[in-house]
Amino acid sequence: MKIIDNLKDGYQILKENNISSYKIDCEILMSQTLDISREEVLLNLEKEIKKKEREIYFNLINRRKKNEPIAYITNNKCFWRDKFITNKNVLIPRPDSEHLVEQTLRIIKKNQTKRILDVGVGSGCLSISILKERPYCKCDAIDLSINALKLAKINANLHQFSDRIKFYKTDVDNFYNDKYDLVISNPPYINKHKIKYLDSIIYEPKIALDGGLDGLEVIKKVISKSKNLLKINGKLVLEIGYDQKYKVTKFLKEKNFFINKIIKDYGNKTRCIVSTKIN
């Protein structure tokens, strides 16, 4: 049977299961099955595939029809300028978090040597993307989850950064080290009670999403701790939930941070705050 016919059967199944991205998903899953790029799939629509390949493809389609994210099925996700390995132990890198990378790169000039701390490293997508663009910087990365750290190390090796990132398994609350020029963090910030309504909770780790009763528990820990971990004039670049701007800026000011910038995402929702430790 031809690629095009298998794609059409896949479209039908995913469409019936309300997967709005059914077209691109089928093409990605076909490219995963045949181990070729999506472009090659589209250039070879009339090519016949083997029975075994059809079986593999429909196994993947059946996973996707149950709403399993594509990034977990293919085990990778593009973020910033690279591909990162993903699995169920880490949050899937989000395009929204690219704002944090962009803001950090605006702070650090190309030839500067800075020490960065990444709190809640997950897959490693933030630190690795930043280190790639800033060749003289080094990063310490912490996470509570040993399995997330294992994957972040794999990604760091893959991108050949293992000598520029050090990993620590710890709660941010218990982390003591030298002073950093920058702290970056995309902490869990979803209100505990709202988590059950998220589609992704079936697949993504709760530890990466759960921000406690008010959604601000880990954010507050990161801010309080950054007060000790940052040098004077050091910068804190924080991703937050769209409805947390007022509470987070108030808390930052209480902790003597100066608010430099509040960044909105492409959907015009608050996404990221850049602040400076002033004393």
Ligand X SMILES: C[S@@+](CC[C@H](N)C(=O)[O-])C[C@H]1O[C@@H](n2cnc3c(N)ncnc32)[C@H](O)[C@@H]1O
The residues of the shown chain that bind ligand X, judged by CB under 6 A, are: 90-91, 93, 97, 119-123, 125-126, 142-145, 148, 171-172, 186-188, 207-208, 218, 221
Minimum CB separation of residue 100 from ligand X in Å reads 7
For residue 216, the minimal CB distance to ligand X (Å) is 13
Query: HEC states along 155-206?
Result: HHHHCCCCCCEEEEECCHHHCCCCCEEEEEECCCCECHHHHHHCHHHHCCCH
Please state, in angstroms and rounded to a whole number, the distance separating the CA atoms of residues 78 and 85. 9
Of the two residues 11 and 168, which places its CB atom closer to ligand X in the complex?
168
Decide whether 61 or 130 has the Cβ nearer to ligand X: 130
Among all chains, which residue has been given the structure tokens 């902490």? 187
Q: How far is the CB of 169 from ligand X (least distance, A)?
A: 9
Nearest CB to ligand X, comparing residues 26 and 151: 151
CB of 196 to ligand X, least distance (A): 17
Q: Tell me which amino acid residue 9 is.
A: D
Are residues 261 and 274 in contact, defined by beta-carbon separation less than 8 angstroms? yes
180-185 vs 230-239, strand pairing mode: parallel
* Smallest separation (angstroms) from ligand X to the CB of 14: 26
* Direct distance between the N- and C-terminal alpha carbons of the chain, in angstroms, rounded to an integer: 68
The two structure tokens encoding residue 45: 């629509």
Complex with ligand X: residue 122 or 215, whichever CB lies closer: 122
23: which residues sit within 8 A by CB, 6+ positions away? 11
Least Å from the CB of residue 276 to ligand X: 21
Cβ-contact 67, 19 below 8 angstroms: yes
Residue 6 or 123: the one with the smaller Cβ distance to ligand X is 123
Alpha helices, DSSP H, located in the chain: 3-16, 22-34, 38-43, 51-65, 70-74, 98-107, 125-133, 146-158, 217-229, 245-254
Q: Between residues 144 and 240, which has the closer beta carbon with respect to ligand X?
A: 144
How far apart are CB 199 and ligand X at their closest, in Å?
16
Residue 32 vs 155, nearer CB to ligand X: 155
